[in-house]
Amino acid sequence: MADSKKTGNRAFKDRRIGLILFGIFHIVIGTFCALSIPLTIVGIIATAGLDKSSVPPMTVGQVILVVLLYLLLAFWFVWMGIGSILARRWARALILITSWLWLICGMGGFIFTLLFMPDIYGYMAMSGEVPQELAVVVQYIVTVFMAIILIIIPGAFVLFYSSKHVKATCELRDIRVRWTDKAPLSIITLSSIFGTIAIAMPFLALYRWTMPFFGFILSGIPGAALVLVYMVLSVYAAWGTYRLKIKAWWCGFLLTIASAVSLGITFSRVNLLDLYEKMNVPKESLEMMKGLGMLKTPAIDLLFWGIAFIGFLIFLLYTKRYFTAAPQHKRQVKKN
């Protein structure tokens, strides 16, 4: 049983061992992400000579994105793991924020995968790529694996790092006031979301700066100009919301509304095939997507985007309570 200690007038159970174990687990995940980089490259080389109709090739942009994503994930999990082992306040806050986002997005992704998985493995069986019996077994294995990755692991992180005992342990062992202590976790989450959007925008260069815009698909120079505007506004929203500036909150709110309306209008008029073609997606990949029925209608995609938009809008409105018109030095912020 964990030792009971006191911080101020509060008694709590020391979760030092748990922080170490979960920190090691983070480092293990980061190591797997790092190892996935050479494995991905080897896989691309190994499939280069296969039939392109059965194994669509990855574009240069896709390869770059995958490698960068694995690098980012490897760095993040190792860094968070070290912070957890050292019982740092910032590590607990950032792990809790990212785990909540991971869990919420993972649940949506898991449901989306379940909707298309029967079509994917049915297509593989009908095309003769794998026997039907094997396709069924693989489908169940993938379902369990996806549930572990998308739901169980982030759920365990949320349960552990949201504990008041873990919070008290970090506060006792890390007495310095960190930047994550200077704003509520919900505000840091909001700022992080806008910051992530801003960081992701330049990578659209790998897809010819393709962006939907109120019924049209922009690419090239017009698309790059739209991306630049979106990125600047996202940077301002990220910086300003962390500093509790009401103008930045309104910027993020209006940007979210405009984005949702733009997507709704665009995909009610434009076929997904047009979008993917402007993004320079390989023809073999488009043919496979057609065979899976993923390009027939954007209704399912719009439904998921709509749910995500409503959820984020509710979260945005919730965070509004932290913003006032008072000067920054007079503001009293209720910590999470």
Residue 218: strand, helix, or coil? strand
- Euclidean distance between CA atoms 217 and 279, whole angstroms: 10
List 7's β-bridge partners, or say none: 10
Closest to 94 in 3D by CA, of 180, 193, 196: 180
Going by the DSSP 8-state scheme, the letter that residue 168 receives in this structure is H
The reported pLDDT for the residue numbered 160 is: 97
The reported pLDDT for the residue numbered 2 is: 47
- Euclidean distance between CA atoms 228 and 6, whole angstroms: 51
- Cβ neighbours of residue 86 under 8 Å, at least 6 residues apart? 23, 173, 174
The pTM for the full model equals 0.81
- Cβ neighbours of residue 232 under 8 Å, at least 6 residues apart? none
Whole-number mean pLDDT of the chain?
A: 83
Closest to 76 in 3D by CA, of 18, 33, 109, 16: 33
Q: How confident is the model at residue 128 (pLDDT cuts 50, 70, 90)?
A: low
Q: How confident is the model at residue 270 (pLDDT cuts 50, 70, 90)?
A: confident
Boundaries of every domain in the chain: 182-336
Half-sphere exposure of 168 (CA within 13 A, CB side): 16
pLDDT at 335 over 50: no
The reported pLDDT for the residue numbered 334 is: 46
Closest to 233 in 3D by CA, of 217, 266, 257: 257
Closest to 101 in 3D by CA, of 17, 12, 20, 188: 188
Q: How confident is the model at residue 331 (pLDDT cuts 50, 70, 90)?
A: very low
- Euclidean distance between CA atoms 216 and 209, whole angstroms: 13
- Cβ neighbours of residue 264 under 8 Å, at least 6 residues apart? 302, 306
Q: Both tokens of residue 111?
A: 């449901």
Q: How confident is the model at residue 193 (pLDDT cuts 50, 70, 90)?
A: very high
Q: How confident is the model at residue 138 (pLDDT cuts 50, 70, 90)?
A: confident
- Euclidean distance between CA atoms 62 and 284, whole angstroms: 14
Q: Both tokens of residue 234?
A: 């996202």
Closest to 291 in 3D by CA, of 111, 144, 128, 48: 128
- Euclidean distance between CA atoms 326 and 195, whole angstroms: 25
- Euclidean distance between CA atoms 96 and 132, whole angstroms: 41
- Euclidean distance between CA atoms 308 and 315, whole angstroms: 11
Contact 172, 5 (CB under 8 A): yes
- Which pLDDT tens digit goes with each residue over 207-250? 889 998 998 889 899 999 999 999 999 999 999 999 999 999 99
Q: What is the mean pLDDT of residues 274-290?
A: 71
Q: What is the mean pLDDT of residues 40-64?
A: 67
pLDDT at 110 over 70: yes
Query: How many CB atoms sit inside 10 A of residue 319's CB?
Result: 19
pLDDT at 53 over 90: no
- Which pLDDT tens digit goes with each residue over 286-321? 666 665 555 555 566 667 778 888 999 999 999 999
The reported pLDDT for the residue numbered 5 is: 57
pLDDT at 76 over 90: yes
Cα 179 to chain centroid, rounded: 22
- Which pLDDT tens digit goes with each residue over 141-180? 888 898 999 999 999 999 999 999 999 999 999 999 999 9
Contact 227, 209 (CB under 8 A): yes
Query: How many CB atoms sit inside 10 A of residue 287's CB?
Result: 14
pLDDT at 121 over 90: no
Q: How confident is the model at residue 124 (pLDDT cuts 50, 70, 90)?
A: low
Helix, strand and coil percent figures for the chain, each rounded to 5: 75, 5, 20
The reported pLDDT for the residue numbered 299 is: 62
